[in-house]
Amino acid sequence: MRSRYTAYTRSDIGYIAATLAADQRAAFDPVAAEGWAARATWLGLRIVSTARGTESDADGVVSFVATYREGGKTIEHHEVSQFRRDAEGAWRFVEGDTRAVVTEPKRAVGAAKVGRNDPCPCGSGKKHKFCCGR
Protein backbone atom coordinates (compact mmCIF):
# COMPACT_ATOMS: atom_id res chain seq x y z
CA MET A 1 0.00 0.00 0.00
CA ARG A 2 2.72 2.46 0.96
CA SER A 3 4.64 1.73 -2.24
CA ARG A 4 1.57 2.47 -4.36
CA TYR A 5 1.06 5.80 -2.55
CA THR A 6 4.72 6.67 -3.17
CA ALA A 7 4.29 5.77 -6.84
CA TYR A 8 1.40 8.22 -7.09
CA THR A 9 3.51 10.96 -5.47
CA ARG A 10 6.17 10.35 -8.13
CA SER A 11 3.69 9.90 -11.00
CA ASP A 12 5.12 6.39 -11.53
CA ILE A 13 2.02 5.03 -13.24
CA GLY A 14 3.94 2.05 -14.61
CA TYR A 15 4.40 0.82 -11.05
CA ILE A 16 0.72 1.37 -10.28
CA ALA A 17 -0.22 -0.73 -13.33
CA ALA A 18 2.32 -3.43 -12.47
CA THR A 19 0.92 -3.83 -8.94
CA LEU A 20 -2.65 -4.40 -10.12
CA ALA A 21 -4.17 -7.87 -9.99
CA ALA A 22 -4.14 -9.37 -13.49
CA ASP A 23 -7.96 -9.36 -13.72
CA GLN A 24 -8.04 -5.62 -12.92
CA ARG A 25 -5.54 -4.35 -15.52
CA ALA A 26 -8.01 -4.06 -18.41
CA ALA A 27 -10.15 -1.54 -16.49
CA PHE A 28 -7.16 0.61 -15.45
CA ASP A 29 -6.92 4.05 -17.11
CA PRO A 30 -3.23 5.09 -16.97
CA VAL A 31 -3.90 8.49 -18.55
CA ALA A 32 -6.46 9.43 -15.89
CA ALA A 33 -4.21 8.08 -13.12
CA GLU A 34 -1.25 10.07 -14.41
CA GLY A 35 -3.33 13.23 -14.63
CA TRP A 36 -4.55 12.86 -11.06
CA ALA A 37 -1.06 12.10 -9.77
CA ALA A 38 0.39 15.14 -11.55
CA ARG A 39 -2.35 17.58 -10.48
CA ALA A 40 -2.21 16.62 -6.82
CA THR A 41 0.22 17.95 -4.25
CA TRP A 42 0.57 14.92 -2.01
CA LEU A 43 0.58 15.71 1.71
CA GLY A 44 0.60 12.36 3.47
CA LEU A 45 -0.63 8.84 3.97
CA ARG A 46 -2.23 7.53 7.16
CA ILE A 47 -2.94 3.82 7.54
CA VAL A 48 -6.13 3.50 9.56
CA SER A 49 -6.27 -0.28 9.90
CA THR A 50 -5.22 -3.57 8.34
CA ALA A 51 -6.75 -7.03 8.32
CA ARG A 52 -4.94 -10.17 7.32
CA GLY A 53 -2.05 -9.54 4.93
CA THR A 54 0.58 -11.39 6.91
CA GLU A 55 3.16 -13.71 5.39
CA SER A 56 0.79 -16.68 5.76
CA ASP A 57 -2.27 -14.93 4.25
CA ALA A 58 -3.41 -15.03 0.63
CA ASP A 59 -5.30 -11.73 0.90
CA GLY A 60 -5.42 -8.58 2.96
CA VAL A 61 -7.32 -5.36 3.53
CA VAL A 62 -5.87 -1.90 4.17
CA SER A 63 -7.93 1.09 5.24
CA PHE A 64 -6.12 4.39 4.68
CA VAL A 65 -6.44 8.13 4.19
CA ALA A 66 -4.28 9.84 1.56
CA THR A 67 -4.30 13.62 1.88
CA TYR A 68 -3.52 15.90 -1.04
CA ARG A 69 -4.20 19.39 -2.37
CA GLU A 70 -5.84 19.95 -5.73
CA GLY A 71 -7.49 23.05 -7.12
CA GLY A 72 -6.73 25.00 -3.95
CA LYS A 73 -8.55 22.53 -1.69
CA THR A 74 -7.25 19.93 0.74
CA ILE A 75 -8.78 16.54 0.00
CA GLU A 76 -8.78 13.42 2.15
CA HIS A 77 -9.07 10.31 -0.01
CA HIS A 78 -10.49 7.58 2.24
CA GLU A 79 -10.19 4.06 0.87
CA VAL A 80 -10.52 0.46 1.96
CA SER A 81 -8.32 -1.54 -0.43
CA GLN A 82 -8.39 -5.26 -1.11
CA PHE A 83 -5.11 -7.01 -1.95
CA ARG A 84 -4.26 -10.61 -2.80
CA ARG A 85 -1.11 -12.54 -3.56
CA ASP A 86 -0.39 -13.60 -7.12
CA ALA A 87 1.10 -16.98 -8.13
CA GLU A 88 4.63 -15.68 -7.40
CA GLY A 89 3.61 -14.46 -3.93
CA ALA A 90 3.62 -10.71 -4.71
CA TRP A 91 0.82 -8.52 -3.34
CA ARG A 92 -1.52 -7.13 -5.99
CA PHE A 93 -4.24 -4.49 -5.69
CA VAL A 94 -7.69 -5.94 -6.41
CA GLU A 95 -10.15 -3.12 -5.70
CA GLY A 96 -10.85 -0.20 -3.44
CA ASP A 97 -13.96 1.26 -1.87
CA THR A 98 -13.33 5.00 -1.94
CA ARG A 99 -14.66 8.37 -0.98
CA ALA A 100 -13.06 11.78 -1.03
CA VAL A 101 -13.77 14.45 1.56
CA VAL A 102 -12.81 18.07 0.96
CA THR A 103 -11.45 19.52 4.15
CA GLU A 104 -9.75 22.64 5.33
CA PRO A 105 -7.46 22.45 8.34
CA LYS A 106 -9.25 23.53 11.50
CA ARG A 107 -7.42 25.45 14.17
CA ALA A 108 -8.14 24.96 17.80
CA VAL A 109 -9.60 28.03 19.46
CA GLY A 110 -6.72 30.11 20.74
CA ALA A 111 -4.15 28.14 18.75
CA ALA A 112 -1.18 30.12 17.49
CA LYS A 113 -1.01 30.83 13.76
CA VAL A 114 1.53 28.92 11.74
CA GLY A 115 4.32 31.17 10.50
CA ARG A 116 5.58 31.01 6.92
CA ASN A 117 8.89 29.49 8.00
CA ASP A 118 7.41 27.12 10.59
CA PRO A 119 7.13 23.40 9.82
CA CYS A 120 3.86 22.65 8.06
CA PRO A 121 1.24 21.24 10.46
CA CYS A 122 0.24 18.60 7.88
CA GLY A 123 3.39 16.65 8.77
CA SER A 124 5.05 16.81 5.35
CA GLY A 125 8.35 17.99 6.81
CA LYS A 126 8.35 21.07 4.53
CA LYS A 127 8.15 24.68 5.60
CA HIS A 128 4.57 25.93 5.73
CA LYS A 129 5.20 28.44 2.92
CA PHE A 130 6.24 25.63 0.55
CA CYS A 131 3.39 23.30 1.47
CA CYS A 132 -0.13 24.09 2.68
CA GLY A 133 0.69 27.80 2.96
CA ARG A 134 0.87 28.20 -0.82
Q: What is the pLDDT of residues 48-79, one digit of tens each?
A: 999 999 889 999 999 999 999 998 899 999 99
Confidence of residue 109 (pLDDT cuts 50, 70, 90): low
Confidence of residue 86 (pLDDT cuts 50, 70, 90): very high
Instruction: Give the 3-state secondary structure of residue 35.
Output: helix
Mean pLDDT of 87-94: 95
The angle at the Cα of 5, spanning 117 to 85, to the nearest 5 degrees, equals: 155
Confidence of residue 83 (pLDDT cuts 50, 70, 90): very high
Rounded to the nearest integer, the mean pLDDT of the chain is 87
Mean pLDDT of 103-120: 67
Query: What does the pLDDT read at residue 75?
Result: 92
Angle, to 10 degrees, between the axis of helix 30-39 and the axis of helix 2-9? 70
pLDDT higher than 90, residue 114 = no
Q: Say how many CA atoms lie within 13 Å of 110 toward its Cβ.
A: 0
Distance CA 10, CA 75 (A): 18
Question: What is the percentage of the chain residues whose pLDDT exceeds 90?
Answer: 68
Fold of the domain built from segment(s) 2-105+114-130: Nuclear Transport Factor 2; Chain: A, (3.10.450)
